Amino acid sequence: MNTGIKIENIEKSFGTNPVLKGINLEVPSGQLVSILGSSGCGKTTLLRIVAGLERATSGHVYFDDELQDLITVEKRAIAMVFQKALLFPSMTIGENVAFSLRASKNPPKDIDKRVEEMLELVKLPGFASRRPGELSGGQEQRVSLARALMRNPKVLLLDEPLSALDANLRVEMRNFIREIHDSFEMTTLFVTHDQEEAMAISDKIAFMESGVLEQYDVPESFVSTPESRKVAKFFGCRNVFPGTIVGDTFETAFGSLALGKVHSRGSLLAARQEDLQVSLEKSKYSFEATVVSWQFVGSRISIQCEVANSSNREKTEVIVESDRFADFKVHEKVFVSYSPDRLHVINRDN
């Protein structure tokens, strides 16, 4: 049976430094949830509290309805994989994988069979007699995962297990982790600072900033409907404009932008650069701008534009991301067009 996780008003301070500030989070049974944020945001500390490796200053952790606060780490139904594989170099791969079962004094015949099955599962058949020094970084993490799964955990905790791998291997391993999660039907918390990683494999993402849970939602919402400026910026939105809602428009410093749906409140407007277009022709939903500069971002082009403000002589920067065939010249007058349905009013500034 799967186990849900409930994190209730968790606070943690190291001395006078508050690291976690009232975190509330419910992870449904069987889901894979990424805890995402930049370095120092508190995500690893939160994971260690769930594991029992750290004690919270206040607040509680539940697995289903069972309070975990006083349960020691070895008695919690969890397995944890760290950033480094932490394999015993003097042991074979088979001995590393079997370590927890041998410590529990299981029958050797049962252990050997289970090790063989587990190495098959993590796509390392026949590796039992090898040593850690003979493996690549990705293979080491597969062994580390196999060792963790030998405990039949109800909860799997992953602390940036892919951060030391190269880009291509990270993509392969993140897909593999999702496959393993689905096979075992565990509840999984996956800590990462990589938004692409989190977006690719998560049922939900818990985004943290400076010890605060900024947003907890399905991956697509962080792009389409960010709840704060911090979320919008972290997920790559280059255009966040201050202003006010007036009826079905949002009044910015450079003019009115039509909204595709009714909003009752909000003082910031997010317009993703890939949802805008540069054109030489005016349209119903467009505003005039001047191209300042451009640069390649991968196979696409990021175009920096300036728009004259209505009430003063200052200008507002607008970034448009286009395919490499966009028709424009630097210093040229263009029109930036948008779709009202793709503009998003942010309800809170902080």
Q: Is the predicted pLDDT of residue 1 greater than 60, yes or no?
A: no
* pLDDT tops 70 at residue 2: no
**Confidence grade of residue 112 (pLDDT, cut at 50, 70, 90):** confident
pLDDT at position 102 over 80: no
Distance CA 122, CA 131 (A): 16
Asked if 46 and 53 touch (Cβ cutoff 8 Å), the reply is no
pLDDT band per the 50, 70, 90 thresholds, residue 103: low
Q: pLDDT tens across 72-86, in order?
A: 998 898 999 998 888
Number of neighbouring beta carbons within 10 Å of residue 282: 11
Residue-level pLDDT at 23:
97
Please provide the average confidence, as pLDDT, over all residues in the chain: 92
All structural domains of the chain with their residue ranges: 5-231, 238-346
Q: Is pLDDT above 70 for 107? A: no
Give me the residue label for tokens 């202003």: 243
Collapse the DSSP code of 202 into the 3-class scheme (helix H, G, I; strand E, B; otherwise coil) and give the result.
coil
pLDDT at 264: 78
Give kind and range of the element (H or E) at residue 148. Answer: helix 137-149
pLDDT category at 317 given cuts 50, 70, 90 is very high
Question: What is residue 315's predicted lDDT score, i.e. its pLDDT?
Answer: 95
Does the domain made of 238-346 have the CATH classification 2.40.50.140?
yes
Dihedral angle at the C-alpha atoms of 321, 325, 329, 333, nearest 10 degrees? -60
Q: What is the mean pLDDT of residues 165-179?
A: 89
Query: Residue 184, Cβ neighbours under 10 Å: how many?
Result: 17
Superfamily holding 5-231: P-loop containing nucleotide triphosphate hydrolases (3.40.50.300)
Region 300-325: mean pLDDT is 92
Tokens of 11: 């606070």
Mean pLDDT lowest among 53-57, 260-264, 285-289, 322-326: 260-264
Q: Tell me what the mean pLDDT of segment 3-13 comes to.
A: 95
Say what the pLDDT of residue 113 is: 87
Length of the chain: 350
What end-to-end distance do the CA atoms of the chain give, in Å? Answer: 39
Residue 331's identity, in one-letter code, is H
Distance CA 82, CA 171 (A): 18
Residue 350 has pLDDT above 70, yes or no: no
Does residue 30 surpass a pLDDT of 90?
yes
CB atoms within 10 A of CB 38: 12
Q: What is the pLDDT of residue 261?
A: 84
Quickly state the pLDDT bin for 104 (edges 50, 70, 90): low
Average pLDDT score over residue span 89-117: 82
Q: Is the pLDDT of residue 105 over 70?
A: no
CA-to-CA distance for 156 and 147, rounded, in angstroms?
A: 12
Digit-coded pLDDT (tens) for 200-257 = 999 999 999 999 999 999 999 999 999 999 999 999 999 999 999 999 999 999 999 9
Q: Give the type of residue at 293.
A: S
Q: Which amino acid is at 70?
A: L
